[in-house]
């Protein structure tokens, strides 16, 4: 199974918005609404920030939003804050009843 | 809130078997609500799903690891385990245990992770 494709890095200034793409195939993102996103700070475990394409866990800032079109999912972070600087991973359930992750995108807040 | 904690040796010799255990607290391991999963993170690379075990003992795993992977569960100890045989340097990674809800398919709780090095 192939990993989902994410850009290696994105950057933005405080207050701006950024979008991270995640491209899969008709075997994963294109078939299911089961796309999730995780934030991982150095040395920490990944933290769920988006599930089922666009839902947020209780208590998570609404600055984080998700969407999907065809085989590509996207994570948008609005009103960038310095604490958003992290690595972000997308994930999708697949037709093979497995999970696949993206390679990760490093967000730099300038 | 479910908490997970990995344990096991941080150093494994090439060709030997990597064995890790995950202890679950704050929730019932045999509730049937979760797929108890293993995920690893290779240095400088993305995350890789390894497999999961259900409370009943049924398992499902990444086809690329299937021939070397054994997973088990001990509900009396609230633990589930992973054994990966014939390890090579390619198996060096941070290993996480995590829970995935059976009503959806996201990993909501994660352990802190354990770094496994493969070296003689």
Q: Dump the DSSP string for B39-87.
A: EEE-TTS-EEEEEEE-TTS-EEE-TTTGGGEEEEEETTTTEEEEEE-S-
Query: Contact B64/A98, CB-based, under 8 Å?
Result: no
- For residue A2, what pLDDT is reported? 59
- For residue B44, what pLDDT is reported? 82
Q: Does B113 touch chain A (CB under 8 A)?
A: yes
User: For the segment B11-23, what is each residue's pLDDT rounded down to a tens digit?
Assistant: 999 999 999 999 9
- For residue A102, what pLDDT is reported? 95
d(CA A71, CA A49) in angstroms, rounded, equals: 20
- For residue B57, what pLDDT is reported? 93
Looking only at the bridges linking them, the beta strands covering A64-69 and A72-77 are: antiparallel
Q: Calculate the average pLDDT of chain B.
A: 94
d(CA B61, CA A2) in angstroms, rounded, equals: 15
User: For the segment B74-104, what is each residue's pLDDT rounded down to a tens digit?
Assistant: 999 999 999 999 999 999 999 999 999 888 7
Give the CB-side neighbour count of residue B44, counting CA atoms within 13 A. Answer: 1
Residues of chain A with pLDDT under 50: none
* Alpha-carbon torsion (A35, B104, B95, B87), positive or negative: negative
And the tokens for A27? 């075997």
Nearest Cβ partner for B49 among A47, A98, A104 = A98
Provide the 3-class DSSP secondary structure of residue B91: helix
Neighboring chain B residues of A48 at a CB cutoff of 8 Å:
106-108
Question: In which element (H, E) is residue B20 found?
Answer: strand B18-25
Task: Say which DSSP state B106 is in.
Answer: -
- For residue A41, what pLDDT is reported? 94
User: For the segment A58-81, what is each residue's pLDDT rounded down to a tens digit?
Assistant: 999 999 999 999 999 999 999 999
Integer distance in angstroms from the first to the last C-alpha of chain B?
39
Nearest Cβ partner for A46 among B63, B64, B110 = B110
d(CA A38, CA A22) in angstroms, rounded, equals: 12
d(CA B91, CA B84) in angstroms, rounded, equals: 9
Spell out the SS3 assignment of chain A: CCCEECCCEEEECCCCCEEEEEECCCCCCCCCCCEEEEEECCCCCCEEEEECCCECCCCCCCCEEEEEECCEEEEEECCCCHHHCEEEEEEEECCCCCEEEECCEEEEEC
């Amino acid at each position: 199974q192939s990993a989902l494709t994410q850009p290696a890095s994105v950057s933005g200034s405080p207050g701006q918005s950024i979008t991270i793409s995640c491209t899969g195939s008709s075997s994963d993102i294109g078939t299911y609404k089961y796309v999730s996103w995780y934030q991982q700070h150095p040395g920490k475990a990944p933290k769920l920030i988006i599930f089922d394409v666009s839902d947020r866990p209780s208590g998570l800032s609404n600055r984080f939003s998700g969407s999907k079109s065809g085989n590509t999912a996207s994570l948008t972070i609005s009103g960038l804050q310095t604490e958003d600087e992290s690595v972000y991973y997308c994930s999708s359930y697949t037709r093979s009843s497995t999970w696949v992750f993206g390679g990760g995108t490093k967000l730099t807040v300038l | 809130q479910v908490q997970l904690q990995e344990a096991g040796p941080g150093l494994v010799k090439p060709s030997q078997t990597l064995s890790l255990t995950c202890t679950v607290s704050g929730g019932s391991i045999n509730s049937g609500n979760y797929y108890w999963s293993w995920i690893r993170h290779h240095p400088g690379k993305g995350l890789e799903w390894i497999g999961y075990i259900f409370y009943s003992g049924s398992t499902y795993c990444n086809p690329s690891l299937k021939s070397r992977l054994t997973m088990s569960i001990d509900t009396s100890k609230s633990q589930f385990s992973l054994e990966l045989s014939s390890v090579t340097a390619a198996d060096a990674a941070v290993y996480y245990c995590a829970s995935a809800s059976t009503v959806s398919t996201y990993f909501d709780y994660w352990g802190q992770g354990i770094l496994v090095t493969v070296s003689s």
